[in-house]
Amino acid sequence: MDIATKSIRSLPNGKTLDDLIMRETREVSLAVMNDEELYQWELENLFGMGWNLLGHESEIPDANDYVVRPMGEDLVIVARDRQGQIHVSLNVCPHRGMRVALGEEGNAPAHKCIYHGWAFRPNGDFIGAPVEKEQMHGGLCSKAELGLKKARIELYGGLIFATWNHDGPSFEEYLGDAKFYFDMLWKRTDNGLEVLGAPQKVSIDCNWKCSGEQSGGDGFHTLSLHRWLIEAGLFRSDGDDPTDLAPAMYGINVSANGHNARCIPIEGTFDIAKKMDASKMSLEDRLYKLAPPGIHKELVPQLQKHLSQEQIELLVKSPPQVGGIFPNLNFLFVYAPQPDGEVLGAMAIHIIVPKGPHRSEFWTWMFTEKDTPEETKEKMLRNAVQQVGTSGLIEQDDTDTWPHISLASRGYKGRKDMTLKYQAILGESKPEGWPGGGKVFAGFSKDDTQWEWWEAYYAAMNKTYD
């Protein structure tokens, strides 16, 4: 952390980032969860100029398929053309500002604005206006200039990311050292992932950063907010008392560019792995008996084709089970032991979509590897629905806390004097032989990676764009 760097931008009320994010003491003013001007700044710097997850290519498998998705508060059309290429275009007609695609999904060889009939191809190009001979689009702009605004896109393991920053860092540069860990989740089989249905969506009365900063690697709340996981015997605990400390709190947290992954040994999480004496298993035995989340035994040989030996060893010993991509993506690749002893996985990705300083939408996609047997896909979907998302037992806990934080930020005293504190720092401690890069924090989960999220927030918000 370079605490010598100072904020070069200020809000209309005169406050700077340094007034809100106190880097010397690792505190963040609660006012960040309430300020309208800061929110508008975030829409520009984070959601306008940063990379946004919009979905997965398996949601639009055929030519002319499309979905409408958010980039901050801008809606975009994500469409596949006849050549199979995916395009992302602003869902705003350049004529009079009308929304072009009114539904959430569909199949259309052309998108036609209902207001004045201007039409556009799936790639965003302008086709024309009604009564072609009258040239109702005028003569000042060419047809090439009247297309929908196009975003820059990147496909990563089938996931669709986009940004309005056409000259900024590539997506690979954006991921940095985190790519080593994320490749183990999204780029590991021949045919990749597929979505299990449309994304779940729920509206929450909270500032988007309540979820965003938690996705920065908050593991500590598991001991209190999710204590029932220990009490119900779903997580291991030390000793006979189910309220004892969960060994799953000990692992390796990694952070790079504000992205993070929490790598947790399976034998520290589930009794089934302890009973199987997983620590003494060979790598091959672990691959087949305790396969990584989402990997069916039939897919194990494909890991060798797509991942390095170091990645495979990490994936079966201390896999990235939870983590996030800055600023608003959270993933879960968690083990799901079955009553018959089979160990499957629940695979999900969330985004928290800003809808103003006091409201957000929480989106959840469920995934499986495309080549997974259908019976196993059904089990994985059932596991995911039970644990995560709108109806998931785990995330019902999380979404209950965020509105209370937002409400506290709206009070005079709360936003004036209260701070979010990230002062329980473990410090960098990379285990010997650790294969991945980034900042590595081994031991009990503390505030390190969440503070790295705020450092990334500070850096991204401190930029200026012409």
Rounded to 5°, angle at Cα 202 from 28 and 293: 85
Band (pLDDT 50/70/90 cuts) for residue 348 is very high
Instruction: Give residue-wise pLDDT tens across range 287-322.
Output: 888 888 888 888 999 999 999 999 999 998 889 989
Band (pLDDT 50/70/90 cuts) for residue 1 is very low
| 52-164 CATH fold | Rieske Iron-sulfur Protein (2.102.10)
Residue of 183, 133, 178 lying closest to 157 (CA atoms): 183
pLDDT value, residue 93: 97
* Residue-by-residue DSSP string for 278-323: GGGS-HHHHHHHSPPTT--GGGHHHHHHHS-HHHHHHHHHS-EEEE
CA 112 to chain centre: 32
Q: Which token pair is 221?
A: 């709340």
* Residue-by-residue DSSP string for 349-413: EEEEEE-STT-EEEEEEEEEETTS-HHHHHHHHHHHHHHSSTT-HHHHHHHHHHHHHHHHHTSHH
pLDDT value, residue 270: 65
Instruction: Give residue-wise pLDDT tens across range 205-228.
Output: 999 999 989 888 887 777 777 676
Q: Is the pLDDT of residue 410 over 50?
A: yes
Q: Is the pLDDT of residue 4 over 60?
A: no
Q: Is the pLDDT of residue 231 over 80?
A: no
The answer to which of 19-28, 71-80, 136-145, 273-282 has the lowest mean pLDDT is: 273-282
Highest mean pLDDT among 222-231, 372-381, 429-438: 429-438
Backbone angles phi, psi at 147, to 5 degrees: -75, 170
pLDDT value, residue 426: 93
CATH of 177-461 among 3.30.200.20, 3.30.930.10, 3.90.380.10, 3.40.190.170 = 3.90.380.10
pLDDT value, residue 6: 84
Of residues 49 and 385, more confidently modeled: 49
Instruction: Give residue-wise pLDDT tens across range 164-211.
Output: 999 999 999 999 999 999 999 999 999 999 999 999 999 999 999 999
pLDDT value, residue 268: 67
The answer to which of 40-44, 158-162, 227-231, 374-378 has the lowest mean pLDDT is: 227-231
Q: Which token pair is 220?
A: 């500590």
pLDDT value, residue 367: 94
Question: What is this structure's pTM?
Answer: 0.93
Backbone angles phi, psi at 245, to 5 degrees: -60, 135
Buried b (16+ CB within 10 A) or exposed e, 76-103: bbbbbbeeeebbbbbbbbbbeeeebbee
Q: Is the pLDDT of residue 241 over 60?
A: no
* Residue-by-residue DSSP string for 143-193: GGGGSPPB-EEEEETTEEEEES-TTS--HHHHHGGGHHHHHHHHS-SSS-E
Of residues 345 and 23, more confidently modeled: 23
* Residue-by-residue DSSP string for 5-72: -----B-TTS-BHHHHEETTTTEEEGGGGT-HHHHHHHIIIIIISS-EEEEEGGGS-STTEEEEEEET
By percentage, how much of the chain surpasses pLDDT 70?
A: 92
Domain borders along the chain are 52-164, 177-461
Give the number of other CB atoms < 10 A from CB of residue 19: 14
Q: Is the pLDDT of residue 274 over 80?
A: no
Q: Is the pLDDT of residue 394 over 80?
A: no
- Distance of alpha carbon 389 from alpha carbon 399, whole angstroms: 10
Residue with tokens 């050292």: 177
Which residues are 196's β-sheet partners?
none
Q: Is the pLDDT of residue 266 over 60?
A: yes
- Distance of alpha carbon 242 from alpha carbon 235, whole angstroms: 9
State the average pLDDT over residues 368-390: 87
